[in-house]
Amino acid sequence: MLSPPDHLVRSGRPRLAYRHIAGAGPTIVFLPGYMSDMEGGKATALFAWAAAEGRACLLLDYAGCGSSEGLFTEQSLTDWCGDILDLIDAKVEGPVLIVGSSLGGWLMLLAALALIQRDGPRRLAGLVGIAAAPDFTQWGFTPEEKAIIQAEGALIEETPYSDQPYVTTRLFWQSGEANRLLDTDIPVSCPVRLLHGQDDDDVPPDISLRLAAALTSGDVQVTLVKGGDHRLSRDGDIALLIDTVARLITQPN
């Protein structure tokens, strides 16, 4: 059982819930998916493994999600990227290894690019995407759904992943469109590992292949998991995630 989260107090922005353990670096930073939080199976398993191995790890809830303050419908992709950077600045010294699940994989890339621009490429020890979903606002909606978002201000959809419907606001969709990455080179030089279920009905595996092609790093590997769905949360999937992170952490520079 995890202890209650701590909170980062910020001026003019919602308080952010997080869990952080100190240890050997690089610090593992886990980014959950859309309308998800740090209580999920992948996040908690990674945190427990890091604690057992004496590794530094940071979990977080974006503003408007989980135990963080703020209204979900008032947040944008840019806001959530700012949340990640604020917590890294507050809790992490030295390199980070960012793990992003689904929409968290898009945020992983945006945060990585911001860290590279500000601190240089050595701030990144590696990236691990789990069904990473960059540019979701471009390929994840039908033209009819995009029209609803633009005309009505929000799209509300039932989802098998939550008892609450997914809400995509015009603010979030516009922020996503302004931060698309797959149509140009993504200047990331660190090692990148992309895990993707072959039976993912939400994020096509082709997205990870497109992402691998766009990344400028010469050390990018895509692992397609037979029988894996979008969650990739079976025991074997989580073991693969932990093994992938462990190998990256110990990989020589």
**Is-catalytic flag, 79?**
no
The residue ranking higher by pLDDT, 253 or 185, is 185
Residue indicated by tokens 């057992």:
52
37, 61, 79, 200: which is the annotated catalytic residue? 200
How many residues are there in the chain? 253
**Is-catalytic flag, 230?**
yes
The predicted-structure confidence for 147-159, as pLDDT tens digits, reads as follows: 999 999 999 987 7
**Is-catalytic flag, 7?**
no
36, 67, 101, 102: which is the annotated catalytic residue? 102
d(CA 95, CA 108): 14
Which domains does the chain carry? 6-135+185-250 (3.40.50.1820)
The predicted-structure confidence for 169-212, as pLDDT tens digits, reads as follows: 999 999 999 999 999 999 999 999 999 999 999 999 999 999 99
The predicted-structure confidence for 14-52, as pLDDT tens digits, reads as follows: 999 999 999 998 999 999 999 899 999 999 999 999 999
Query: Hey, what amino acid is at 230?
Result: H
d(CA 104, CA 32): 5
- Cα–Cα distances in angstroms (integers) from residue 238 to residues 43, 148, 160, 196, in the given order: 10, 37, 20, 12
Look at residue 99 and tell me whether its pLDDT is greater than 80.
yes
Strand order in the sheet with 24-31: 6-10, 13-21, 55-60, 24-31, 96-101, 124-130, 192-197, 220-225
Indicate the SS3 state at residue 25: strand
The pLDDT of residue 162: 66
- 222 φ/ψ angles, rounded to the nearest 5 degrees: -110, 125
